Amino acid sequence: MKKMDVSVCLRPIRFAFLVRPNDKTKVQRIFEINTCLWGGMYNPIIPYFERTPNWWSRDRRHFQKPRKIIEGYLNFFEPDFIVEAEKGLGKRLNLSDDVVVNINSFRFDESYPGYKEIRGLNVFGIYKELYQKEFKFVRRHKHGIILVQPKEQRFRLFVSCIFGTFPQEKSLSYIEKGYQEAFDPEEITLEPDQIKKIYNKPYGSPLDIGCENIDIYHSDHTDPMVFILDVTQPKDLIDFWNLRTYKRRILAIPVQWIESLSEFCKDFAIKNYVPLPGNPHGVMIHPTFLFSRSLVDEQIENIIQYLRVKKKGAICLQKWYPDFWEKKSDIIWSPNRAVLTVSESKQEITIDDNVSFKFNNLSPDFVDRYASSSCWANVIHLREEIDKNEIATVFPASLRNPSFPNLSFDNKRILSNTEGLITYQDHKNWHEYWNVLNGTSAFIKWFETQNVNTEISAAGKTLLQVMKSLQGFWGIRYISHPKIIERLNSMACKLSKRTETIEGQQKEYLGRTVKFDALKEEIHKINEDDITTEFWKKKVIESLIKYNVIKLGLEVKCSLCNHRNWYSLNSLKYELVCENCLKTFSFPQDSPSNREINWCYRVIGPFAKPDYAQGAYASVLALRFFNDLDRGLSSSLSWCTSLELTLESGQKSEADFLLWYQRKRIRENNYGVELVFGESKSFAKDSFGEKDLKNLRNLAQKFPGSILVCATMKDKLDADEKKRIAKTAVWGRASAPIGTTRAPLIVLTATELFSQSTLGLRHLWKQKGGKRAQLIEPAYIREDNLRVLADLTQQVYLDLPSYHEWWEAKWKQKKAKKRKSM
């Protein structure tokens, strides 16, 4: 009976609104919808355009393609559903109908015939709950709930963006009426003095109340920011709205009021220009004034005149809008959207018949037992027993592939992203039944959605048997030594050599067994400078027996043909059948301790297959390496055995092992899932041929951005294969259409595959010294980042320059060539 931990987190549904950035009417409608939605303040707005507008980049030199920008927004925010402001925008981005919602669906009217199809929760239930719990009682102090109205029509968009505005339709008037009756808000007509009052004290607006009881965690620790914008430009308000979804503290200042709010801005800068708490080096907090993209340089220069303060360094001016949607390296801090959590639960689940499990979902307190379709979200994290990894718990992002992973019994849509597995609920205090998938089954189902036919290869079946026998990654460590691997292989290949005295002469005997005391002595002689070696030596034979790698039996010489037969303990009889002459002979009871009988071990099951268990040893050692990169503390993976793949073009490829690998973060959203294709080799010379490397390149072309691995049990690569692998590594450094490198290639040798260290790659390479120690020394190096790992291993084993040096040299060469042609 298997057990698994299931973590469930409740949050609002996250909608991303797709709109043309100059469409004031639709942008106003988006602000109104989000005022009515639970958690609406944190629903992103994605600008849609078919040509990158001039205002997108102030210097007008670093333009990006529109599709890349929109994809960057989608990858950053990872919405549950995409709301198109005009029909057809979703289809232009090749998005599935399952994830696209038209903006007209948000009526919030219970009398509307299509009400049951509306996704999300409106805030009316929150108003009712807060009134019953808090606001129906007479308070001694003012509650600070406000309702802001613009004094001028041109400020309507600004007010809606900053504070929220209710829809004006008569059918939806009940939402604003509920707000008025529940909170009796202070009505404010927005003027410069009023905005100073609101910013200086904690007031609650309709947008704020819509996030009541939601724990909002910002990973952003940047300095406080003031965003100076033009209230008449919807694109500026969209930019501010999106910044607010991840920045901890940001204020919006209209450029129309910059003169009136000049003193407020300067006071804000001076108050926040203070030493960074806990920093002994005098580092100061620098308030930042960010200028919107609609403001031209001449306007900015005029604005700066109103922001000058006597304290030098108190104000930091920023004229460029942050490209938060672009992926950054580990060295550079990258923004991450705020994490919204309402409640959490952890459940220990029993898996029924190894095929399904049941868990309880979480629901908001303010909803009725039954609601409309897809009203709130549950974020699910699956965690199997450590080092087992039989169940797939990591899946690739599926916004564009809504049919996978299909784990639910009732075929409910499940979204996979950096948060986890997202399921959408409409029943309060309900439960769900999910299917169990192992890694291989999950990969096969996923490849079907990618129009790739798959079949488990013969070597793949052996790999599955080896992993099953070793009971996951922990058992692999007991075969992770070259001498153990060689001994097991020699026994499987009938090449186990030992010298015995036969008829008074020393003769070499070839057989599939090894004497139990000889194996023990072999292991004892293994010398390795590692803190776990002695413990490993003591446990290795016991573990090899436990994990059904070897089995103890008696080797008995046939009295008729002198062939040595091996018999397991439960097959011993007084009369034995010789496996060579097939005749029956008697067990030598008169001399059971002579040289005719030996206690011996023999490899069994998949370990009895020749050629290093059909290559399975190298693959399982490579899989263990990735699992042990940080001992599973900040990464997790789903693995797949060797598959034969038939691509859409009819081209056939094969991978010795496959991975979905994901790095984790504490409290923040995790990193994206990496797809890994591995080619593994044993000890043969010049084993990575052009065919193997071409096969990897074919897979990378079908799945751009995937990680390639060349893993060998040898200490070093041969000269010719090093050249071939280096050529593929350089090919993989080129840019891919998805905005990353084409296919980073990782090289693993005996150093990594046979490591007994439990302290990770950094400790191992430091022990080895030399170039390895030098490269891994900087604290900012994240070896669990597979793209960083690829760069490091290419420098060590392929003698390539670092990716940065290679790219810089290539750029200089290109620049020189361009200059020469002019």
Pairing of strands 657-663, 635-640: antiparallel
Angle at CA 817, nearest 5°, toward 812 and 821?
A: 150
**Per-residue model confidence as pLDDT tens digits over 436-479:** 899 999 999 999 999 999 999 999 999 999 999 998 888 898 89
How far apart are the C-alpha atoms of 496 and 498, rounded to whole Å?
7
How far apart are the C-alpha atoms of 111 and 638, rounded to whole Å?
47
Pairing of strands 343-350, 3-12: antiparallel
What pLDDT shows up at residue 317? Answer: 92
Assigned token pair, 8: 């469930």
Query: Residue 760 is inside which H or E element, if any?
Result: helix 760-768
Q: Residues 808, 812, 815, 821: what is their CA dihedral angle, to the nearest 10 degrees?
A: -150
CA gyration radius for the chain?
Answer: 33
Three-state secondary-structure class, residue 174? helix
How far apart are the C-alpha atoms of 90 and 84, rounded to whole Å?
6
- Give the range among 119-133, 516-530, 536-550 with minimum mean pLDDT: 516-530
How far apart are the C-alpha atoms of 505 and 89, rounded to whole Å?
87
**At a CB cut-off of 8 Å and minimum separation 6, what does 51 contact?**
66
Q: Tell me the mean pLDDT in the region 767-783.
A: 90
Phi-psi region of 286 (alpha: psi -120 to 50; beta: other; left: phi over 0): beta
How far apart are the C-alpha atoms of 496 and 530, rounded to whole Å?
28
How far apart are the C-alpha atoms of 614 and 597, rounded to whole Å?
31
User: Does domain 612-819 sit in CATH 3.30.420?
Assistant: no
**Per-residue model confidence as pLDDT tens digits over 165-206:** 999 888 788 899 999 999 999 999 999 999 999 998 888 999
**At a CB cut-off of 8 Å and minimum separation 6, what does 228 contact?**
253, 254, 255, 258, 289, 290, 291, 292, 295, 303
Query: Residue 637 is inside which H or E element, if any?
Result: strand 635-640
Q: 275 preceded by cis ω (within 30°)?
A: no
Listed in sequence order, the DSSP H helices in 379-515 are: 439-449, 458-469, 473-476, 482-492
What pLDDT shows up at residue 111? Answer: 47
Write down the domain spans for the chain. Answer: 3-10+338-454, 612-819
Buried b (16+ CB within 10 A) or exposed e, 21-37: bebeebbbbbbbbbbbb
Assigned token pair, 318: 């920023």
What pLDDT shows up at residue 633? Answer: 58
Q: Where is pLDDT greater, at 511 or 492?
A: 492
Sequence length of the chain is: 822
How far apart are the C-alpha atoms of 39 and 207, rounded to whole Å?
8
SS (H, E, C) 292-335: CCCCCHHHHHHHHCCCCCCCCCCCEEECCCCCCCCCCCCCCCCC
Three-state secondary-structure class, residue 423? strand
Inform me whether the pLDDT recorded for 588 exceeds 90: no
Inform me whether the pLDDT recorded for 773 exceeds 60: yes
Angle at CA 537, nearest 5°, toward 536 and 543?
A: 70
Inform me whether the pLDDT recorded for 741 exceeds 80: yes
Global confidence as pTM? 0.90
Expressed in angstroms, the distance from the first to the final Cα of the chain is 73
